[in-house]
Amino acid sequence: MSRVATASCPAVFISAPASGQGKTTISAGLARYYHNKGLSVRVFKTGPDYLDPLILQRASHHRVEQIDLWMMGENYCRQLLYQAALDADLILIEGAMGLFDGDPSSADLAEFFGIPILLVINAKAMAQTFGAIAHGLTTYRDTLKFAGVIANGVGSQRHTDLITLSMPELIHLLACFPRKPEMELPHRHLGLIDPDEIDDFDARLNRIADEIAQTDIDVLAHPVEFVESVAPIPEKKLANCTIAIAKDAAFSFIYAENIRLLEALGARLLYFSPLHDKAMPNADVLWLPGGYPELHKEQLQNNHTMHQSIQQHYQAGKKILAECGGMLYIQKTLTGIEGDSVNMVGLIQGDGHMRTRSGCQGMQSAMLPEGEVRAHAHHHSRSENTLEPIAFGKRATHPAPGEAIYRSKGLTASYLHLFFPSNIEAIVELFSA
């Protein structure tokens, strides 16, 4: 009988009672603190998220990947953590939303792998109630392990004293972080801002790391054993396929796992910029991922030669996958929050409108003719005057129809962001020339 390979590595799961508590700030600060100490830190982000990983990657100086039981499956998650544990000194996992939100939740993921939880609670506008919230979260499910609690956004020494006195004896208050604007990470409508857009980003990370150095945080005291999960190596079914991938400030929402799968399938990948290049590369398939086309809509409108090259690709009947922001780009128009409208590529009818509130959110399966592919949606826009959908996404936890899926010639377009490894055969068929 063959012995199952294991790897042990200290690990901690950073969670909170809700979104907006400072999980990413603390996770990035911890990653930078331990990196500055000369340790190899691997960070993962729970759930579908493109922006937080950019911050965590900058903080840790290592690639950051998503980890999610529903979207990826248990074996895929297990292998990611096992591989990280082979050479990391510390594994950090940032949760999503509140600790018990979602199905599966951050608590489910932490419990599945036996990883102790570090709770981040924003203490603004509360005092002794802090201890009650910490007590409730740490005792709600007795199968969870906890490394301790961090009070974030503390206003004064008196505030710190009140929080400290409120804590139950068996819960370790690891730190009280002060409320300082220079330690905050800027936001916009879809979440945190790309660190490349923030001039003093590294200085902010180092200030957070310096605050951590003043505390008694010691997350390295919790080694966790991770088990190998060997996946079959895919055949080179896309060996004769060249895929052009849009990648720039307007189109950047790309899972590293999707890229690795396409490479493992033998595809040749060519990156280009719809913002700056005159034309897309000569390719069998065009992939337009999500991003922020609304922030660059005038520049995208004015790149007429790029429009022409994409239109030629489409008219030739070649394959195109347009996800979320990519779909807004290939419709007729895009209108900003202020009502200013610009022309887009116009492959299919449809008018995109940015809005202040979010649209259809959460986990969904894309019910494609090629097969069911796990995916998610997250956007602050709507599309009107569109084609008739060929299908709708299937929500993970709700019976209502999800995002519309459109087809025209070789084009597949939707607000859904696909996770390719969830159905390799469907992705092969979707991308096959």
pLDDT tens sequence across 32-87: 999 999 999 999 999 887 778 888 999 999 999 899 999 999 999 999 999 999 99
Which residues make Cβ contacts (< 8 Å) with residue 350, sequence separation at least 6? Answer: 327, 331, 332, 383, 384, 385, 386, 387, 406
> Before 178, cis peptide (omega within 30)?
no
Mean pLDDT in residue range 331-358: 90
Mean pLDDT lowest for which of 50-59, 89-98, 186-195, 220-229?
186-195
> Which sequence positions are flagged as catalytic?
324
> pLDDT tens digits for 409-430?
999 999 999 999 999 999 999 9
Report DSSP state, residue 142.
T
Distances (CA, A) of 42 to 88, 297, 375: 6, 35, 24
Q: Is 186's pLDDT higher than 60? A: no
User: At residue 189, does pLDDT exceed 70?
Assistant: no
158 burial type by CB count under 10 A (0-12 exposed, 13-18 middle, 19+ buried): exposed
Angle at Cα 203 formed by Cα 198 and Cα 208, nearest 5°? 110
Three-state secondary structure call for residue 112: helix
- pLDDT (mean) for 390-396: 92
Q: Is 388 left (phi over 0), alpha (psi -120 to 50) or beta?
A: beta
Least confident of 1-15, 290-304, 382-396: 1-15
Cβ atoms of 26 and 4 within 8 Å: the answer is no
Longest dimension (CA), the chain: 70
Same fold, 6-227 and 242-431: yes
pTM of the model: 0.88
pLDDT-above-70 percentage for the chain: 93
Long-range contacts, 168-171 (Cβ 8 Å, 24+): 168/131, 168/134, 168/135, 171/131, 171/134, 171/135, 171/138, 171/146
pLDDT value at residue 188: 47
Span 129-185, pLDDT tens digits: 999 999 999 999 999 999 999 999 999 999 999 999 999 999 999 999 988 766 666
Domain ranges of the chain: 6-227, 242-431
| Residue 254 banded pLDDT, cuts 50, 70, 90 | very high
Query: Residue 338: pLDDT above 90?
Result: no
Q: 164 or 379: whose pLDDT is higher? A: 164
Amino acid at 96: A
What is the domain class of 242-431 according to CATH?
Answer: alpha beta
φ/ψ (deg, to 5) at 234: -70, 150
Cα–Cα distance, 101 to 108 (Å, whole number): 10
Residue 361 in 3-state DSSP?
coil
Question: What is the average per-residue pLDDT within 263-289?
Answer: 98
Query: By the 8 A CB rule, do 176 and 170 touch?
Result: no
What is the average per-residue pLDDT within 23-28?
92
Q: What is the mean pLDDT of the chain?
A: 91
Query: Out of 2.60.120.1440, 1.20.950.20, 3.30.410.40, 3.40.50.300, which CATH number does the structure's domain 6-227 have?
Result: 3.40.50.300
Q: What is the CA radius of gyration of the chain?
A: 23
